[in-house]
Structure 1
């Protein structure tokens, strides 16, 4: 576990833009985000497809360079020189959504897990390191899997191989992008339990990127809900998911079977990130504004921008209706 005072990973004022198509305005994929991840903490980054969460995750790993803002790891700013990035990626590893796509079908399990060691010039006992990583990922006895190929494994076993490939470098942080989205329901719980065990046994920190608030509930200490490039609600997972305050969070939660209420059907699609609406970026789809309940702040919703939420553990929400005087602010 890291002994660094303060957060292990910290982003401040992060923006990532991509050139617009055919002269259009740049796409603001990440449009002002502060986010901290503490040592031994699991943070869930939640939102619909296209909200910017994968781009944010990749920028935190140095895979996408931000247009502005900063990323720090263990108290030191991220340096984008090739050698510095290589050293950083030994400490912060990515686990992708689709294990079939991230495993070379021509490589054995042993070679897949050993690849990171070879890239980083590991000088110790390679066989012992690979065996240890497979065992920690729940593939036991590990030697039984050394010479097997991805097509010979189940989906859950392939995901464990991918996790082992990250663990073999003994990172302090893993970023897991939809880590169980491609798995059967019966296997999802096993992989989530594995991530929790790794946190408890190794002090591993994790950012789990997901569209599934139910998954966040089962695994995260803290949740950040993202919409159109911004975090719109954040805080301890239990407080956010038992008493959501932002209308968007409420809509996401309403479709879970255990919510007990009627699902909130949002109108339309999220706006194009090259044409972010003025004011609250959710106002064009907001069920509270559409119902008339937020009439007192409707003009602010449509015209007044909201501040970037803090990146730490405090409960915060970016919503004019919630933060108006007398609304539980």
Structure 2
């Protein structure tokens, strides 16, 4: 069952007199007890999509659905929604007030929502986040903790509200490699023990491989490939996904993308990836007879199906 869903979602901003289509037609679902990785390089729109799913940005068109019902943007409805859909930020140091103890940081959410049994709730959240015994950390300040411990405090702050969904924006990007595995293992344990769902926003396909059930690859405001994580990462169909995977250490030959990074105010005709596409540049798309379509023919917006999907003229020609 779909718990959190983007349906034909568009988010636009005005930038220096031009219109930036940050999210330009996205269908995406996060099911109950499911971890979905949203992957793409900086500027592709994934953080804007995550903020819109959290109700922090209002869509230009389309809708966000939670439990099958469209999200309401009244203050009361958003307050109730954000208790159940919680954000975990990239930088735990910036997320925590240096003047607040761990207890105060974790208790802030329950106080805002008027939840009972504050002390028990804080201790339980810290314990579930792997800070045991919780009494050891209650009166500590952020500067007295390691980076991994600070990230656990941020996660505990979310858990204190008993959410159903976590939206984690680059949750381990600021951590040492030795600590990243611990935080990823924690998120998997929370999924298994509490039934939590999660949308994990990342530029790292290696992280997606280790934690996600499904992966959605985003480029210039749209999902260009999606499906079960093993299928997409073992046999990627889209040239952009192939390029992202090629930078992993085990890849035999990295793909260096040419052209300019994506600009949401200047979306090209045809396939939006074609100015940087290594398959088109190498003449392989021409050999398949699709190079003209790559440059001029729009691709359909992918559905929110859990099956493997790709928005690519060349991949479509190979499958036929």
TM over 0.5, shorter chain: yes
Distance 1:116 1:20 in 2: 34
SS of the aligned residue for 2:275 comes to: coil
Distance 1:271 1:248 in 2: 12
Distance 1:156 1:297 in 2: 48
- In structure 2, the residue matched to 1:302 is 295
**Which of 21, 24, 33 is equivalent to 1:31?**
24
Which consecutive segments of 4 or more residues in structure 1 shift more than 3 A?
Answer: none
SS of the aligned residue for 2:166 comes to: strand
Deviation at 1:230, TM superposition (A): 0.4
Contact 1:271–1:277 (Cα < 8 Å) also in 2: no
Contact 2:125–2:157 (Cα < 8 Å) also in 1: yes
SS of the aligned residue for 2:314 comes to: helix
Distance 2:159 2:4 in 1: 18
Q: Point out the more displaced range, 275-284 or 261-270.
A: 261-270
Deviation at 1:310, TM superposition (A): 1.2
Aligned length: 318
- In structure 2, the residue matched to 1:125 is 117
- In structure 2, the residue matched to 1:84 is 77
Unaligned runs of 5+ in 2: none
- In structure 2, the residue matched to 1:272 is 263
SS of the aligned residue for 1:206 comes to: strand
- In structure 2, the residue matched to 1:203 is 195
Deviation at 1:328, TM superposition (A): 1.7
- In structure 1, the residue matched to 2:161 is 169
Question: TM (normalized to structure 2)?
Answer: 0.98
Deviation at 1:10, TM superposition (A): 1.1
Counterparts of 1:186-265 in structure 2 under 5 Å? 186-259=178-251, 261-265=252-256
- In structure 1, the residue matched to 2:143 is 151
Contact 1:228–1:270 (Cα < 8 Å) also in 2: no
Question: TM (normalized to structure 1)?
Answer: 0.96
The two structures, once aligned, show a CA RMSD in angstroms of 0.7
Deviation at 1:176, TM superposition (A): 0.2
Deviation at 1:20, TM superposition (A): 1.9
Distance 2:302 2:240 in 1: 15
Residues 263-316 of structure 1: CA distance to partner in whole angstroms, max 9, x if unpaired?
000013323101100110000000000000001111111111111111131100
Contact 1:92–1:175 (Cα < 8 Å) also in 2: yes
